[in-house]
Structures are given as structure tokens and as C-alpha cells.
């Protein structure tokens, strides 16, 4: 009799725990999906520095990305002072916009850690996964960010390498501009869902 009561009590506790677990999982899924679906490229920022703990959270997200054979062939250059940002921005009209960026993270390949032979180019996929993780972390932290192209434009690659005096083993793929979004130039997320871009199974 006592054992039956104990069994019933234990089952009730387990059932309640599983209910609260699935409820929590559902809200986690919603939070993650909301973060992905509401991200948009932000190109206008407040003149407010990005806190060090937020920089580290974004870098942790970037380095959590999957990579081919777990090679992690990356290096992140953090430009978080007006001087460092100005050094990256250089001169000219476009540079003025770049200079208004509170934080730039240059995502680089570390050629010493890259795969060799036929799969060498897979570093682009590795670094792109890291970059997207970083963009999503920025958005979750209330920051805005935009991916800007460096690779594959050879002149840009050389320019960035020169401006930052990069060591020979580093090769910049992109620069992520980050800061607190300017509410006067709000970036709206785009609805890109398109069933025509999905095929289930093979073609006949």
C-alpha cells in the first residue's frame, strides 16, 4: 500500500517536471526563433561604446560555431577604440561612415590552421558560421550589426591587412560593424520565407 502511494507520488512529480521542462523548452525555442527572425543588418549607430562583457559574449558565440574537423581556423581582431576604428576606416567619404562605428570585429582566417588540399576553401564556411553566430549574439544583446565584405575582393583584403599591420598568417574575410542601433534609422527585418526555395527529396 505504502509502496503504491510512493509510486503514485513519484510519478506525479516526474509528470509535473516533464510538463515544466517542455514548457521551458517551448519558450526557449520561441526566444531563439524570435532572435533569428527579428535580426536585420544595422548600419547606423549611437555614439555609445560597446561594453567589454558584451564583446566577449559575441566572441564566445562566434567561437562556438561548427568547423570542418573542428579546426577552428579563425582569429578575431577587435577594434573597440575610436583610434583603432579610425585606423581601419582610413580616409575618404565612405570612411566617415565607418568611423562612426563604435566597434568593428574583423573576422580573419588563420592560414596556419587552414585545411590543406582539396578542402582548403572550406575555411570560408567555417568563418561564415562564426560570423552569423556573432551577428545573432549581437542582436540578442540589444546591439545592431552588419557584415561588410572584405574577401574575395583582393584590393580590400590587401588594404585591410596593410592598415592593421596584420601578421602574414592572417587573412581577413569580413568586418562586422557593431554598436547600439540608432532608433532614428531603425532596421526592419525582412520576411525571406519562400516555399519555392525548398525541395523535399530528389528530382525525378
Ligand X SMILES: Cc1cc2nc3c(=O)[nH]c(=O)nc-3n(C[C@H](O)[C@H](O)[C@H](O)COP(=O)(O)O)c2cc1C
Which residue from 36, 41, 59, 159 is in contact with ligand X, where contact means CB under 6 A? 41
Positions 166 through 195 that interact with ligand X (CB under 6 A)? 190
Whole-angstrom distance between the N-terminal and C-terminal Cα of the chain? 63
Is residue 40 a contact residue for ligand X (CB under 6 A)?
A: yes
Least separation in angstroms between residue 107's CB and ligand X is 11
Q: How far apart are CA 128 and CA 64, in angstroms?
A: 12
Helix residue spans in the chain (DSSP H): 2-37, 52-63, 82-89, 93-99, 123-140, 154-163
Least separation in angstroms between residue 94's CB and ligand X is 10
The smaller minimum CB distance to ligand X, of residues 22 and 149, is found at: 149
Is residue 146 a contact residue for ligand X (CB under 6 A)?
A: yes
The smaller minimum CB distance to ligand X, of residues 193 and 200, is found at: 193
Is residue 35 a contact residue for ligand X (CB under 6 A)?
A: no
Is residue 57 a contact residue for ligand X (CB under 6 A)?
A: no
Which residue from 27, 35, 149, 169 is in contact with ligand X, where contact means CB under 6 A? 149
User: Would you call 94 exposed, middle or buried from its count of C-beta atoms within 10 A (0-12, 13-18, 19+)?
Assistant: exposed
Is residue 72 a contact partner of residue 130, using CB atoms and an 8 Å limit? Answer: no
Helix orientation angle between 123-140 and 52-63, rounded to the nearest 10 degrees = 140
Which residue from 148, 157, 159, 182 is in contact with ligand X, where contact means CB under 6 A? 148
Q: How far apart are CA 62 and CA 174, in angstroms?
A: 13
* Total residues interacting with ligand X, rule: CB under 6 A: 8
Is residue 84 a contact residue for ligand X (CB under 6 A)?
A: no
Cell of 12: 506525479
Q: Could you list the residues that contact ligand X (CB under 6 A)?
A: 40-41, 43, 146-149, 190
Amino acid at each position: 500500500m505504502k509502496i503504491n502511494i510512493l509510486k503514485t507520488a513519484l510519478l506525479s512529480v516526474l509528470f509535473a517536471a516533464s510538463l515544466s521542462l517542455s514548457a521551458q523548452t517551448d519558450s526557449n525555442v520561441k526566444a531563439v526563433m524570435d532572435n533569428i527572425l527579428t535580426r536585420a543588418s544595422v548600419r547606423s549607430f549611437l555614439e555609445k561604446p560597446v561594453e567589454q562583457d558584451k564583446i566577449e559574449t559575441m566572441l564566445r558565440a562566434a567561437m562556438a560555431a561548427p568547423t570542418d574537423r573542428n579546426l577552428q581556423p579563425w582569429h578575431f581582431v577587435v577594434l573597440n577604440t575610436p583610434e583603432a576604428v579610425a585606423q581601419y576606416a582610413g580616409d575618404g567619404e565612405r570612411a566617415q561612415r565607418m568611423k562612426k562605428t563604435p566597434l568593428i570585429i574583423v573576422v580573419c582566417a588563420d592560414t596556419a590552421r587552414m585545411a590543406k588540399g582539396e578542402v582548403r576553401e572550406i575555411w570560408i564556411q567555417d568563418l561564415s558560421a562564426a560570423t552569423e553566430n556573432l551577428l545573432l549574439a549581437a542582436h540578442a544583446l540589444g546591439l545592431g550589426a552588419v557584415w561588410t565584405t572584405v574577401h574575395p575582393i583582393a584590393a580590400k583584403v590587401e588594404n585591410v591587412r596593410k592598415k592593421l599591420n596584420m601578421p602574414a598568417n592572417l587573412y581577413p574575410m569580413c568586418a562586422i560593424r557593431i554598436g547600439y542601433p540608432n532608433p532614428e534609422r531603425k532596421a526592419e527585418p525582412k520576411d525571406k520565407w519562400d516555399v519555392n526555395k525548398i525541395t523535399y527529396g530528389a528530382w525525378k
